[in-house]
Structure 1
Amino acid sequence: MQHDVPTQLAAPAPARAPATRRQQITAGVRDSFSAGLGIFPLGIALGLLVLQAGLPWWLAPALSMSAFAGSLELLLVGMLATVTPLAAVAVTVLVVNFRHVFYAFSFPLHLVKNPLAKAYAVYAMIDEAYAVNASLPAAERSAPRLLAMQIACQTYWVGGGLVGVAIGSALPAPIKGLEFALCALFTTLTLDAFRSRREIPSVLLAGASVAFALVLTPGVAMFTALLLFVGLLLARHALAARRSAQEAADA
């Protein structure tokens, strides 16, 4: 004799309550911790470089507030110390920070509705903020979390610069070789690029750009190399797109 076994329907899992504004801000600050491990020491290097270049101490926080871009600020210290022409400074700012234009295509600025808050989100869209945000699931992103993470990152940078100024003022003699900090940063980024075979052509193009710039315009080699590299990257992208279109047409 067969008995019907009553089936018990599993109770639906309770819906997860949306995070409060305070929880989102806390999460944003927590997101910034990993980036802060790199931002704070570089800020210290900036403060030390400002003093060792013979520039006033307040230039460190002033640069960190007006031009929130680590690699560019380290470059500007040397350019200000050597009284580089304004046109050269403008070209450097344009070329070094031009990559941020492409960040805007996938950075979730649409989450920020307030015009002033959105303007700050654009201003504080540094490499570290972009990388941290890209690692988050789309469902967990929000305007308070994004802005809290960006404000925290800038706090690390400004605070590191002030700590560097304080350390530089207390040291009896300047630290030799500190100006190599920026070069060491880009060397590390280059080594990371070598680990991916897909990026090796870009590294080779960068080396070719530097070689040509040193031969053609040794006085302004950096600017020429940057412009050549951007042009070569655009050409590489066009060729890759054309090759993909050709393969799709043949298939």
Structure 2
Amino acid sequence: MTSTPSSPTARDEFLAGMRAELPLLLGVVPFGLMFGVLGLAAGLPAWAVVAMSSIVFGGASQVVFAQLWGAPTPPAVICTTVAVVNLRHALYSASVAEWLRGLPWRWKLVLAYLLTDEAYAAALVRFRDGPPGAYRHWFLFGTGFTLWTGWQIATVGGVLVGAAIPPGWSLDFSIALTFIALLVLAVHRRSELVAALVAAAVAVLAQPLPHKLWILAAAAAGIAAGLAARRLDAGRAAVEQTP
């Protein structure tokens, strides 16, 4: 008689999530360092830079916030822009809801806080392709906790390094290069490429807008273009599958 393998325990899932997330820290840590430096250059106090990484915990939105803060920009524009940048997290939540639906609210709140780009990417593979189990949510907890820890350490490191950088040094070019690198790695579908190209074009054309509103305009245009391209691709695929 053959024995059936036992289901993964909570500890097994948590450690597997950590292992899946560790390679992604190679790109996260430099980004966190850069945010710490940028936050200080934008005029934020060191404690606020570190606190933002704990409270907001969203690299792209934190960088956008720091850039708008240093402009300076009206608070309403800052809040709206950051909210638009973070809209993708709602899509992440919707896509994993079927695997987390039965969890109590305390778990849902913790996992929602930890559900960022890299944590979601690693956990989605486990949810879709891995074996079913009662502790699958611990895998997402492992990926999110690992990312959160690395992001906090990287931010503190950036603050310490940034304190030694002369105020006259410009850091905007390095932030742009960082986002370009992240964009290249993130684009996998035609709809994503369309969204990126439209957002880039609008960002250039909308530069004359006051209060850095070009960021909000580019984000909105990119999202709209990406959704339209995805619907068009889905329509074409449906037509091709029709006998």
TM class by shorter chain equals 0.7 to 0.9
> C-alpha displacement at 1:246, in angstroms?
4.9
Asked if the contact 1:64/1:158 (under 8 Å) is kept, the reply is: yes
Q: Which of 121, 133, 140 is the matching residue for 1:131?
A: 121
Distance of 1:172 and 1:244 partners within structure 2? 53
Q: CA–CA distance in 2 between the matches of 1:191 and 1:26? A: 29
Letter aligned with residue 125 of structure 1: L
**C-alpha distance in structure 1 between counterparts of 2:173 and 2:67, whole Å:** 11
Q: Does 1:230 align with 2:220?
A: no
TM-superposed deviation, 1:128: 0.4
Give the direction of change, closer, same or farther, for the CA distance of 1:144–1:238 in structure 2 (3 Å limit): closer
Structure number with bigger Rg: 1
Are 2:153 and 1:159 equivalent residues in the alignment?
A: yes
Question: 1:209: Cα distance to partner?
Answer: 2.7
Distance 1:90 1:34 in 2: 32
Q: How many residues align?
A: 237
1:4: which partner in 2? none
Unaligned stretches of 5+ in structure 2?
Answer: none
CA distance in 1, matches of 2:114, 2:82: 15
Note if 1:32 corresponds to 2:21: yes
Q: Does 2:173 match 1:183?
A: no
CA 1:161–1:190 in 2, change beyond 3 Å: closer, same or farther? Answer: closer
**Partner Cα distance (1:201, 1:63) in 2:** 31
Provide the aligned C-alpha RMSD in A.
2.9
- 1:229 aligned partner, one-letter code: G
Gaps of at least 5 residues in structure 1 are: 1-10
Tell which deviates more after alignment, 198-207 or 218-227: 198-207
Q: Is the 8 A contact 2:18 2:146 kept in 1?
A: yes
Paired position in structure 2 for 1:59: 48
Residue 28 of structure 1 deviates from its aligned partner by: 2.2
In 2, the alpha carbon distance for the partners of 1:117 and 1:144 equals: 10
Counterpart of 1:28 in structure 2: which amino acid?
G
TM-score, length-normalised on structure 1?
0.80
Please report how far the alpha carbon of residue 63 of structure 1 lies from its aligned counterpart in structure 2 after TM superposition: 0.6
Contact 1:71/1:182 (8 A) holds in 2: no
The percent identity for this pair of structures is 28
Given the alignment, which residue of 134, 145, 149 partners 2:139?
145
Query: For residues 27-51 of structure 1, what are the alpha-carbon distances to aligned partners after superposition, in whole Å with 9 as ceiling and x for unaligned?
Result: 2222221122222222111222222
Worse-matched range after superposition: 28-37 or 55-64: 28-37
SS at match of 1:176: coil
User: Cα–Cα, structure 1 residues 213 and 54, in superposed 2: closer, same or farther, change >3 Å?
Assistant: closer
1: CA distance between counterparts of 2:48 and 2:5?
47
Q: What amino acid maps onto 1:138 in structure 2? A: G
* Secondary structure of the corresponding residue to residue 106 of structure 1: helix
Name the structure 1 match of 2:109. Answer: 119
CA distance in 1, matches of 2:69, 2:108: 30
Say if 1:17 and 1:245 are closer, same or farther in 2 by CA, change over 3 A: closer
C-alpha separation in 2, matches of 1:247 and 1:241: 10
Offset at 1:189?
Answer: 3.5
